[in-house]
Amino acid sequence: MAVTQTEITYEFIKQRILNGEYKPSQKLIENKLAEEINVSRNTVKKALIMLEKENLVEVTMNKGATIKSFTLNEMMNYLEIRGEMEGLIGRKAAQNITDHDLEGLEEIFHIMSALISENNFDEYSKTNSMFHQIIYKASKNPEAVRVIHTIKTQLNRLYFRTILIPGRKEQSIIEHEAILRALQSRDPDKSEKALKKHVMNVRELIECNHKFIV
């Protein structure tokens, strides 16, 4: 199926929001975007409406669109919800995960360890995502996964910055190893605890350092 102009525009703007090129509270000028992407202003409007549904921008009548800016309280609430959902995912994954899945997690974990030691944070982020995708699939709970993906999309620009905080990269590897070992034991309680703790540690980190990473 051919990709539409609206979808291209949507992805163009979304990626710049997620990578931090477009900043929170920044106003998006429709005419400028249309010229930059080489599409009509109406196409930009449609793309912005799609992004508003994902809570990434706010569209106000006669005032245009601005990048969504979350308060600290909103971020803490989102991460609390994500922590509960990740815990559920961990419990379900422990009950359903296959030997093949576990082999994949082990392999990715070793790659993550090497990347973090090299301070290759871009590739680490990608392999981190692959690690969690295996767990999400193994949970067999796509509804919970959708909730997590929504929250991760909204706060994505913060996650990458947390790894730059002193001590976080070492702690991240420790947490992922704990998740791996819990799933290898196929212990639902340990897996739930490990996944939930992983998110709660990120939550605490953002709460303590939000002035520097938001």
pLDDT given for residue 213 in this prediction: 64
Distance, in Å, from the CA atom of 158 to the CA atom of 126, rounded to the nearest integer, reads 15
The CA R_g of the chain, rounded to the nearest whole Å, is 19
Each residue's pLDDT tens digit, 116-144: 999 999 899 999 999 999 999 999 999 99
For the domain 72-213, what is the CATH code? Answer: 1.20.120.530
Query: Domain coordinates of the chain in residue numbers?
Result: 5-67, 72-213
Contacts 24+ apart (CB under 8 A), 26-32: 26/66, 26/67, 27/64, 27/65, 27/66, 28/57, 28/64, 28/65, 28/66, 28/67, 29/64, 30/64, 30/65
Q: From the CB of residue 5, how many other CB atoms can be counted at a distance below 10 Å? A: 16
The answer to whether the beta carbons of residues 44 and 33 sit under 8 Å apart is: yes
Residue with tokens 């992407």: 37
Same fold, 5-67 and 72-213: no
Work out the percent of the chain whose per-residue pLDDT is above 90: 75
pLDDT given for residue 132 in this prediction: 97
Say if domain 5-67 classifies as CATH 1.10.10.10. yes
What confidence category does residue 179 fall into, taking pLDDT thresholds of 50, 70 and 90? very high
Query: What residues have CB less than 8 Å from 32, skipping those under 6 apart?
Result: none
- The identity of residue 50, as a single letter, is M
